[in-house]
Structure 1
């Protein structure tokens, strides 16, 4: 069965141009439209049957696209899924969860089958192939994440730039003169997930402001052996007393704390550790870790509120909505010098 990518290739245009021709949401030149329509006819491609159906009826379903690609933190997305489902039920909608990592084609297929009234896209890449297609659909779409170009789609997320700044500011206040970020894992870095870049940008800006060297160690994956190897690299200069560790993926925190204990290093006395995780997760580590909060439930609540406003009125103003993180000191950071 032909896809819009096949149509785009035959017509000599981008995939997003094909989507705009199908939806009619942007002005397309007569010549370009002719080439696209001829390619559709040649390939016997049926455009947006689902979008036409959605114009006259509702499915009472919200599509939630969470591609579980290599290195994905499946446990970390559960609070998002739970909160999104709860918000959907409150509006008498169900949630259709799509986990296949198929990019733009998955967006197109889901919308084309008239299965959903709206879409939520998670695990958004800094340059995500799904966005151009999603922006051309004739149904509301919201992003959990902030890509380089949202294509005017509404975005909701934690302010990861601010999270990076908070972590570094606290380690500077503790008197550390060397900061190492342990994580993100290599698959997330290579997929260029949007929040990886944003966190790093905020942390490095704060480190420059304080005049503190800031380096990043990238574990190959989230397994204990990979975290252990990354921790060994972070500690290699053998000056733990000067070292502040930032762990931006909460799932790595327990392995980092265990690795320090195995070396006879006590967080909060010999070294400082700050994790980027929910407050609930921070309370469960041994010892309880100082953290900059992630707010998956608040992010999800705001995203769904915006989504249902758009279902009621597609002309509602939208933009980028950033939830502000906060830092909570626990037992893994040195006291501030007097």
Structure 2
């Protein structure tokens, strides 16, 4: 097994110089740095993670806490997880994915056993009981989501209020005087996931601004039966010229199919605006006008902040809450403006 001593001998430097080049903790001449890196590449040296952790008091691991629940839209989480993992690897860190619903005990285990240098938390509830515990940990914690009380923790999320305004504004611009929001899944509503009320407040604000009626059908199971029942209720209330907004991403395709089953073509007979990723919107038939969830932008910004918090020499961002602006893309399911 190749050791740092072998690298030092090949580069003609001391073992401590090899350590300084790898950690970046001391200024090393460019010529010496090149020799050390060349020796590392030639010998295919991989530093022992345990030894490096002892020396630096860092694990080079980021803990990612995601609660997978029955019926959850796990495919919607993949862009977040992929981006977080990619950003971590770019900073020479690995990701420890914690999926068990352990609540506060899971956070304490991660930090108490020194398993990671920092923690990313997702699936944030409005009144999340984990937040006070997370705020008291000795490692940096960042939230993807915004609780009612962030307890001084940094948060990054989509601006869901702006998303609500964009979606309702698009339906109103298509000439609809009545707009129905086909709401979130029962589990999301019951647990008070933070983005639900923010989206609804933005939608209500836009309805008032445009002078249109806004109604809710909620909660809605994101399956064919749930979508059929929701569409039936929405059309019963307002007729076929009702504009539909679907912030429940897994329900977008079932709602689209429920309309087509009734011989109502979105973009010709009714407007449908979904809150979903561009990939979901583009894969639908017809392609759905959508407000994007921007998962990669949210994750990328969260990781930028997290590594600033890990850098003892860097100033943390002054703002504790950063909201990523959503983006509306008009596709085939919006009626032409009158």
> Per the shorter chain, which TM-score range?
0.7 to 0.9
TM-score (norm 1): 0.81
1:262 corresponds to:
261
The SS at the match of 1:246 is strand
In the TM superposition, what is the alpha-carbon distance from 1:317 to its structure 2 partner?
3.0
User: Equivalents in 2 of 1:301, 1:62: separation in Å?
Assistant: 14
Distance 1:149 1:55, change over 3 A: farther
Distance 1:71 1:201, change over 3 A: farther
**Structure 2 unaligned regions, length at least 5:** 1-52
1:194 corresponds to:
194
The SS at the match of 2:237 is coil
- Alignment of 1:155 with 2:188, yes or no, is no
1:61 corresponds to:
61
User: Equivalents in 2 of 1:291, 1:55: separation in Å?
Assistant: 49
In the TM superposition, what is the alpha-carbon distance from 1:238 to its structure 2 partner?
5.7
Deviates more, 1:192-201 or 1:55-64: 55-64
In the TM superposition, what is the alpha-carbon distance from 1:158 to its structure 2 partner?
0.7
Q: How does 1:1-338 map to 2 (within 5 A)?
A: 57-237=57-237, 239-241=239-241, 243-313=242-312, 316-318=316-318, 319-337=320-338
Deviates more, 1:315-324 or 1:150-159: 315-324
* CA-atom RMSD in angstroms: 1.7
**Structure 1 unaligned regions, length at least 5:** 1-52
User: Equivalents in 2 of 1:107, 1:260: separation in Å?
Assistant: 44
User: Equivalents in 2 of 1:255, 1:54: separation in Å?
Assistant: 52
Distance 1:238 1:169, change over 3 A: closer
2:35 corresponds to:
none
Q: How many residues align?
A: 284
The SS at the match of 2:280 is helix
Give yes or no for contact 1:70–1:187 (8 Å, CA) kept in 2: no
Distance 1:163 1:334, change over 3 A: same
Q: Which runs of 4+ in 1 moved over 6 A?
A: 53-56
In the TM superposition, what is the alpha-carbon distance from 1:197 to its structure 2 partner?
1.2
Greater CA radius of gyration, 1 or 2?
Answer: 2
Give yes or no for contact 1:54–1:114 (8 Å, CA) kept in 2: no
In the TM superposition, what is the alpha-carbon distance from 1:236 to its structure 2 partner?
1.4
The SS at the match of 1:237 is helix
